[in-house]
Structure 1
């Protein structure tokens, strides 16, 4: 029942088109061309985030641990990466990676070993328990997310992927300048 209320609260009272029209009516000349793009993206982000949170809770894993274990698992056998490489692949600071690795090691999901290169490089390897957890978790999370986008046909998905890639690249470029 609580989830039903939360889902209803996440449904906007007005469509993005109605919001843009209201701003044009109330403030002629205000730039509204982004509203019908950005507003649904924000709404989708909220819905996807909430759904992913439920999937993670059901799988018994948090988002940070999923991110850590996923990047190691995607690296392929022997499922080992340096902390520096994990930070690069996840776009998370070295300090945050150290905390994630320490927690995952305490939980028996990874082990740390020196790289033996003479530098302070540390390698992080999935344990059997960590491997099993990521296998279960990734199927649960990605399966739910696949269901959420199943209303799109293959050509629609292809077009949306291309448009989102284009928009993301441009927004990143503009954000860095």
Structure 2
């Protein structure tokens, strides 16, 4: 078992101040919050090395993983990134200004637009992705394979219980 951490100290303090309450959920959510801050900082450092932020990386990666011809509608991107239309528009404006994506009229429906990776966008995501994965791997280095698998299973279960759809 790992040494006591900040969350253990908080829970112990609540046990003294409010022994009538079960504060055990804080053990999970307090750690999730702390993990998020630490992980987010490291991922953002890696994105920054490539002139990206998390939102830009997400758009480029979504287009890349969509496969040839590496094109999606703004609605498709919005659903994949789970953000509002205003947020996706801002992301696309920034990426288009940098020459990483293009927006053109759809061949099938002249009223809709299609977002595509440019050669520069392809090259950037191809450079950034290995570094991103190396950062994620380093962040998980403290867990062995069974520990990682158990964490993945527990998170998948919690997401399903909370109603996250597997789209």
Structures share a fold, TM > 0.5? Answer: yes
Counterpart residue number, 1:5: none
SS in 1 for 2:104: strand
Q: CA deviation at 1:64?
A: 1.5
Deviation per CA, 1:136-168, whole angstroms, max 9, x where unpaired?
112112211111102212111111101011122
Is the counterpart of residue 60 in structure 1 residue 51 in structure 2?
yes
Q: Match for 2:24 among 19, 33, 38?
A: 33
Counterpart residue number, 1:120: 111
Contact persistence 1:114–1:123 (CA under 8 A): yes
CA distance in 2, matches of 1:150, 1:61: 24
Q: Match for 1:77 among 68, 71, 96?
A: 68
Q: List runs of 5+ in structure 2 lacking aligned partners.
A: none
Q: TM-score, normalised by structure 2?
A: 0.89
Is the counterpart of residue 49 in structure 1 residue 40 in structure 2?
yes
Q: TM-score, normalised by structure 1?
A: 0.84
SS in 1 for 2:72: strand
CA distance in 2, matches of 1:67, 1:95: 16
Is the counterpart of residue 144 in structure 1 residue 163 in structure 2?
no
CA distance in 1, matches of 2:37, 2:159: 18
CA RMSD, Structure 1 to Structure 2 (Å): 1.7
SS in 1 for 2:102: strand
Tell me which moved more, 63-72 or 98-107. 98-107
Q: Superposition pairs for residues 127-166 of structure 1, below 5 Å? A: 127-166=118-157
Q: Match for 1:20 among 5, 11, 36?
A: 11
Q: CA deviation at 1:118?
A: 3.3
Q: List runs of 5+ in structure 1 lacking aligned partners.
A: 1-12
